């Protein structure tokens, strides 16, 4: 609410001067007296009051426009994120892709078919990401968070998932050949149709993993896997898996 103070008319200079005790202070009081009259006249000027109201209205319009354009700003933000990802395609390093991918996923934008092969994505956080048919071959995904992610038909060949969190991930039909899954958590992950040939699964967490439909596991290293479901190790060894402490 706009509050304006109504000023009373200043007393005449002669009366004001009588209240001044020291002669040296007269010039200072004269300046103050001039300001008092200036403030008095301006307080009675309706034009200034209109300017104050216009200032308030401009703030209100700015707020309205800000929220009305929120959708366009969000689209622009997503466009820029995709531009970063596509520009860095086929290149090593991060190239800003970690932030771009996390931003899109946070806004629940599907990342279906994204190509980040060979990218440095260590520590990326993409919980529940829609990454079906994504190409993450040879990507550095150490310490990643892909829990509950949709990675159906994803190209994950030679990807580094050291200590990665893939709990509950949908890895059906994914290509995990030569993938490095040492100390990774695959708890509750669905591996139906997945190819795990030569994958390094040493010390991986396999509790409740859905393994019965695995397509192939030849030469994969299952040394020290933790909480493997009943029957998994015997099946894996029968289908060409190995158990060595020095790698696949």
Write the CATH number for 184: 2.160.20.80
**Is residue 175 located within the same domain as residue 220?**
yes
Does pLDDT of 189 surpass 70? yes
Per-residue confidence (pLDDT) for residue 56, from 0 to 100: 74
Are 7 and 40 in contact by the 8 Å Cβ rule? The answer is yes
Per-residue confidence (pLDDT) for residue 2, from 0 to 100: 47
**Is residue 109 located within the same domain as residue 178?**
yes
Q: What is the mean pLDDT of the chain?
A: 86
Are 170 and 149 in contact by the 8 Å Cβ rule? The answer is yes
Per-residue confidence (pLDDT) for residue 94, from 0 to 100: 78
CA distance 98 to 114: 13
The residue behind tokens 């596509």 is 86
Whole-structure pTM over 0.75, yes or no?
no
**Is residue 118 located within the same domain as residue 158?**
yes
pLDDT in tens, 123-178: 999 999 999 999 999 999 999 999 999 999 999 999 999 999 999 999 999 999 99
Residue 1 covered by a domain: no
**Is residue 37 located within the same domain as residue 142?**
no
**Is residue 121 located within the same domain as residue 239?**
yes
Q: What is the mean pLDDT of residues 16-43?
A: 65
**Is residue 127 located within the same domain as residue 162?**
yes
Alpha helices in the chain (DSSP H): 13-18, 26-43, 46-68, 70-87, 97-106, 232-238
Q: Supply the range of the domain harboring residue 195.
A: 90-248
Provide long-range contacts, Cβ within 8 A and 24+ apart, for 101-108: 101/126, 101/129, 102/126, 103/77, 104/78, 105/129, 107/74, 107/78
Residue 233 covered by a domain: yes
186 vs 35: which has the higher pLDDT: 186
> Sorting pLDDT into bands at 50, 70 and 90, what band is 248?
low
**Is residue 124 located within the same domain as residue 240?**
yes
Residue 73 covered by a domain: no
CA distance 39 to 42: 5
Distance of CA 97 to the CA centre of its chain: 11
* Number of CB atoms found within 10 A of residue 51's CB: 10
Q: What is the mean pLDDT of residues 37-48?
A: 63
By the 10 Å C-beta count (0-12 exposed, 13-18 middle, 19+ buried), 239 is classed as middle
**Is residue 51 located within the same domain as residue 94?**
no
């Amino acid at each position: 609410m706009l509050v304006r103070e109504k000023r009373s008319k200043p007393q005449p200079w002669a009366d004001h001067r009588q209240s001044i005790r020291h002669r040296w202070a007269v010039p200072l009081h004269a300046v103050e007296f001039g300001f008092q009259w200036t403030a008095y006249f301006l307080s009675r000027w309706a034009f200034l009051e209109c300017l104050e109201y216009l200032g308030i209205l401009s703030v209100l319009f700015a707020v309205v426009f800000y929220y009305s354009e929120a959708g366009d700003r969000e689209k622009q933000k997503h466009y820029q994120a995709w531009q970063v990802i596509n520009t860095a395609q086929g290149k090593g390093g991060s190239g800003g892709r970690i932030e771009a991918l996390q931003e899109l996923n946070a806004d629940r934008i599907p990342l279906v078919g994204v190509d980040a092969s060979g990218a440095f994505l260590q520590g990326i956080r993409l919980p529940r990401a829609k990454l079906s048919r994504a190409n993450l071959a040879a990507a550095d995904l150490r310490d990643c968070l892909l829990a509950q992610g949709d990675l159906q038909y994803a190209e994950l060949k030679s990807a580094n998932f050291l200590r990665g969190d893939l709990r509950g991930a949908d890895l059906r039909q994914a290509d995990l050949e030569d993938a490095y899954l040492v100390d990774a958590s695959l708890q509750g992950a669905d591996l139906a149709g997945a190819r795990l040939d030569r994958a390094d699964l040493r010390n991986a967490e396999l509790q409740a993993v859905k393994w019965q439909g695995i397509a192939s596991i030849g030469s994969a290293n299952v040394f020290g896997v933790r909480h493997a479901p009943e029957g998994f190790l015997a099946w894996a060894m029968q289908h060409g898996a190995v158990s060595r402490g020095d790698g696949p």
